[in-house]
Amino acid sequence: MGFLTAHHTDLGIKKNTNQDALLLKTAKTPKGSVALFIVCDGMGGLSHGELASATVIRGMAEWFDVEMPRLSQSEYIEEEIYAEITKCINQLNEKILHYGETSKVKLGTTLTALLIFHNKYFIAHIGDSRAYSISNSLHQLTQDQTLVAREVARGNITEEQAKVDPRRNVLLQCVGATKEIEVDFSTGDVQVNTVFMLCSDGFYHQITEEELALNLSPETIKSEQELKDKVVELVELVKARKEVDNISVVAAKVL
């Protein structure tokens, strides 16, 4: 198993700093290839959101480098991945929270991480960044942890109302803001000729699932340059539609 990968992040049309942060790491093990892809969307005044997202990216990158060689040899890989990722995220949460308390600032970040290990994927998710898979059809693999998403699930508002609700950016949790966090985990099988895409909320508010499925169809992407071109094209489309947030995308086609 191999990967074609691409990423793109953009300041957007309004903000002065980019508080998003990305990670793309791949490695080979005796049992096959592994990969870790992450999107974080930081929040906080001045550079604090940028600090929060960068802290998570650095911590998760180090976790991948240190722990994956050992985990790849484990007979209980699935259980250990959940335990080890949860431990890492909780440590990063405590680190950011401690910084915020001692500096008297509020900061935090979303975290959407996709780990591909042989023929399985594992997703760790906090906040409202998203992960999708695109093959014959498009599937959203994460659930937004926002106030409006909860209201939609409870039947209090419709999907259409949620799109324009002024509370749509209010998160139920993020990394670094509270002492207790609950990581939302999911897993599934990895099929060859599938595109996985992770993005910050600045990307998906101004684009349709039909546009994502059409432009990121694995059948039309034959090289990393083609994947990169598609990602950049979609980000520019979002900017043309006047999205004011930072915009970030990570994409990987499984070969």
Query: Token pair for residue 97?
Result: 């929270």
Nearest CA-CA partner of 141 in 39, 56, 243, 31: 39
Count the residues in the chain.
Answer: 255
| Tens-digit pLDDT profile for residues 73-86 | 877 788 899 999 99
Query: Token pair for residue 183?
Result: 């990581």
- Nearest 5 degrees, angle CA 52-CA 55-CA 200? 60
**pTM here?**
0.95
What is the layout of strands, in order, in the sheet containing 138-140? 3-10, 247-254, 195-199, 130-134, 138-140
Question: Which residues touch 19 (CB under 8 Å, ≥6 apart)?
Answer: 41, 42, 43, 44, 49, 50, 52, 53, 109, 246
Classify the C-alpha dihedral 219-222-228-232 as positive or negative: negative
Per-residue pLDDT tens listing for the chain (255 residues): 899 999 999 999 999 999 999 999 999 887 778 999 999 999 986 569 999 999 999 999 999 999 988 888 877 788 899 999 999 999 999 999 999 999 999 999 999 999 999 889 999 999 999 999 999 999 999 999 999 999 999 999 998 888 888 888 899 999 999 999 999 999 999 999 999 999 999 999 999 999 999 999 999 999 999 999 999 999 999 999 999 999 999 999 999
Distances (CA, A) of 237 to 13, 14, 102, 128, 196: 12, 15, 41, 21, 20
Distances (CA, A) of 44 to 7, 67, 113, 227: 24, 30, 21, 32
* Cα–Cα distance, 231 to 8 (Å, whole number): 7
Distances (CA, A) of 82 to 66, 104, 124: 16, 32, 8
Backbone angles phi, psi at 23, to 5 degrees: -145, 135
Ramachandran region, residue 105 (left: φ > 0; alpha: ψ -120 to 50; beta: rest): beta
Determine contact, residues 26/35, Cβ cutoff 8 Å: yes
